[in-house]
Amino acid sequence: MTRARNTADTQTASGGPVSPSIAGKNPVINGATEIWQRGTSVAVAASTPSYTADRWYYSNGANQASVISRQVTGDTTNLPNIQYCARVQRNSGQTGTGNTYFAQSFESVNSIPFTGQAVTLSFYARKGANYSATSNILTVYFNYGTGTDQNVISGYTGGANVVAQNATLTATWQRFTYTGTVPTTATELGLFFQTAPTGTAGVNDYYEVTGVQVELGSVATPFSRAGGTIQGELAACQRYYVRWGGEALYNQIGIGIGATGTIASMDVFCPVQMRVVPTAVDYSTLAIQDGTITTGSAVPAIVSAYSGTKTVGIDMTVASGVAVNRPYRFLTNNSTSGFFGLSAEL
């Protein structure tokens, strides 16, 4: 007697409907742009490459100041079950016409399972009323390299294309799917959307993208988060970047002790283990407090000798007044806009 395969197995094998919460199918972290620890609207100055939505890196050129923002998709017919998208927008009046890139690089450990395999890249996209790229083209590249944990926009060792296609956008959401084969020599993967704007930007010179997925096989199946659930997706993002603040006037971040008259040495405990020991901080409006006195304008710096991937040593420097060997707290200073971030990005 032959046992019938269960429905989920059958649907997965046939390329039919599958659960939208299958963790691990899709290596694109935050493919539905739901997680925005840096803020849901990120201004990117001209010629200033920056991370925006979690795991998504934006690179632009001269006279291309831009805003990358979270938007509601607003379409349950053409884009089912995905709430948010990323809007990639050249600011009105900007005149730069070099290529811009919206990219994600995969760790080598997440790339190796695709080596030597047929893969399908899929995503949803639409354009704004003033999208200025010639013929409404949005070019998508899925690249491989032979290095380890490199950034796809900075360049891969031995880099080449698995997929390089022009998607023609309209004002309505469309799903685009492309297939290719990852060479057996590949040790890292990454993808990026490239646009070449023309003329002077209007008020709606943007494209929107969401539901970005890479999967094994030659059939695009329904979009699935890399982390399965929204909490799993957040944890996957925090492996690369984590931010505290924005929830209260005095968000506590870490604890420590006075080291010198101007430095309090702090321990910050990460919510998940980070990819590597964090290499950079970003911050605004921080303070230290000994229980009675709050000292603002505190400047944080990573102390690599006392840092790991779970607990990070931070020296908080102020102008004066730190009592040596006295306990201190590290916190935001009377502002919901205060924050502290740690980066272990590629």
Strand partners, 299: 317
130: left (phi over 0), alpha (psi -120 to 50) or beta: alpha
Tens digit of pLDDT at every position of the chain (346 positions)? 333 333 333 333 444 444 455 888 999 999 999 999 999 999 999 999 999 999 999 999 999 999 999 999 999 899 888 999 999 999 999 999 999 999 999 999 999 999 999 999 999 999 999 999 999 999 999 999 999 999 999 999 999 999 999 999 999 999 999 999 999 999 999 999 999 999 999 999 999 999 999 999 999 999 999 999 999 999 999 999 999 999 999 999 999 999 999 999 999 999 999 999 999 999 999 999 999 999 999 999 999 999 999 999 999 999 999 999 999 999 999 999 999 999 999 9
* Cα dihedral sign, 139-194-30-210: negative
| Cβ atoms of residues 288 and 316 within 8 Å | yes
3 state SS of 112 = helix
Q: Which string of DSSP letters, residue by residue, matches 315-338?
A: EEE-SS-PPTT-EEEEEE-S-TT-
Q: What residue spans define the domains of the chain?
A: 7-238, 241-343
At residue 287's C-alpha, the angle toward residues 263 and 41, to 5°, is 125
The strands making up 280-284's β-sheet, listed across from edge to edge, are 241-245, 339-343, 280-284
State how beta strands 299-302 and 311-317 pair.
Answer: antiparallel
Identify the pLDDT of residue 23.
Answer: 81
CATH number assigned to the domain covering 7-238: 2.60.120.260
